[in-house]
Amino acid sequence: MTRKLETKTIIVASHNAGKIREINELIGPLGFEGKSAAELNFETPEETGTTFEENAMIKALASAKASGMPALSDDSGIAIDALNGAPGVYTADWAETGDGTRDFAMAMEKVEKALQEKGATTPEARTARFVSVLCMAWPDGHTETFRGEVEGEIVWPPRGTAGFGYDPIFQPKGHARTFGEMTSDEKHGWKPGDAEALSHRARAFKLFVETGLEA
């Protein structure tokens, strides 16, 4: 990063329990402590952007301004080739039930239905990627973003109960298990010092770390 972190506490600009857990797992070994926007009762800002970068910036800036401290957000989603990149930035919206809750079993069924309607039944026709854009923002409005992507395919039926969101239907390229069948460490596939990472979030995080975090 062009700007260094001068604090060991980072505000994790998220209300999503799965993401908060994964971000804490990634920053912990580097000696940082996360405090989430959910714990601090910050309001959830409206994600009005049309790109992962824009939405990541909206979330990180909202938490940085509310806390007066550096804040890290993640805007992520799954882009499916046969669906022209959908659900993309609308990945969370596909799980909305209408009463303010999210149902990922339903969202995964929607994905499968859309793929069936396109006749996408072979692995080659079901390619997809998970995208994560991390944004570090400071209270004065400075931001830095990092993008990670992992290629894979959509499988059906869902497999595994680990992880969160769409993990049970995403099988990363070169692997025989879905993210839902992997431990958290296997899904990240990275720890400080490693040359490679697996998940989109860990890949973005690796870039974030490589650009220099120390105060």
**165 near ligand IMP (CB under 6 A):** yes
**Whether the Cβ atoms of residue 134 and residue 56 lie closer than 8 Å to each other:** yes
In the chain, the amino acid numbered 22 is E
**Whether the Cβ atoms of residue 169 and residue 115 lie closer than 8 Å to each other:** no
Question: Which positions from 122 through 141 interact with ligand IMP, judged by CB under 6 A?
Answer: 130
In the complex, least distance from residue 166 CB atom to ligand IMP, rounded to whole angstroms: 4
* First CA to last CA distance, the chain: 11
**Residue of 42, 138, 146, 166 that binds ligand IMP (CB under 6 A):** 166
**Residue of 34, 45, 70, 77 that binds ligand IMP (CB under 6 A):** 77
Q: Tell me which residue of 9, 116, 126 sits closest to 64, measured CA to CA.
A: 9
**DSSP line for 119-185:** T--SGGGGEEEEEEEEEEE-TTS-EEEEEEEEEEEE-SS---SSSSTTGGGEEETT-SS-GGGS-HH
Question: Which positions from 167 through 196 interact with ligand IMP, judged by CB under 6 A?
Answer: 167, 179
**Residue of 10, 69, 72, 75 that binds ligand IMP (CB under 6 A):** 75
In the complex, least distance from residue 13 CB atom to ligand IMP, rounded to whole angstroms: 10
**Residue of 58, 66, 95, 111 that binds ligand IMP (CB under 6 A):** 95
Nearer to ligand IMP among residue 10 and residue 133 (C-beta) = 133
Nearer to ligand IMP among residue 80 and residue 95 (C-beta) = 95
Question: Among the options 75, 140, 167, 185, which is catalytic?
Answer: 75
**Whether the Cβ atoms of residue 140 and residue 120 lie closer than 8 Å to each other:** no
Q: How many residues bind ligand IMP (CB under 6 A)?
A: 17
Whether 167 is a known active-site residue: answer no
State CA 107 to chain mean position distance: 16
Nearer to ligand IMP among residue 67 and residue 199 (C-beta) = 199
Burial of 161 (0-12, 13-18, 19+ CB in 10 A): exposed
Stretch that binds ligand IMP, among 121-129, 164-172, 190-198, 204-212 (CB under 6 A): 164-172
User: Any bridge partners for residue 10, and if so which?
Assistant: 34
In this structure, is the dihedral angle defined by the CA atoms of residues 168, 174, 176 and 177, taken in order, positive or negative? negative
Report the residue closest to ligand IMP, judged by CB: 165
| Phi, psi (degrees; rounded to nearest 5) at 158 | -60, 145
Nearer to ligand IMP among residue 6 and residue 93 (C-beta) = 93
Contact residues: ligand IMP, CB under 6 A: 16, 47, 75-77, 91-92, 95, 130, 163-167, 179, 199, 201
Catalytic residues: 75
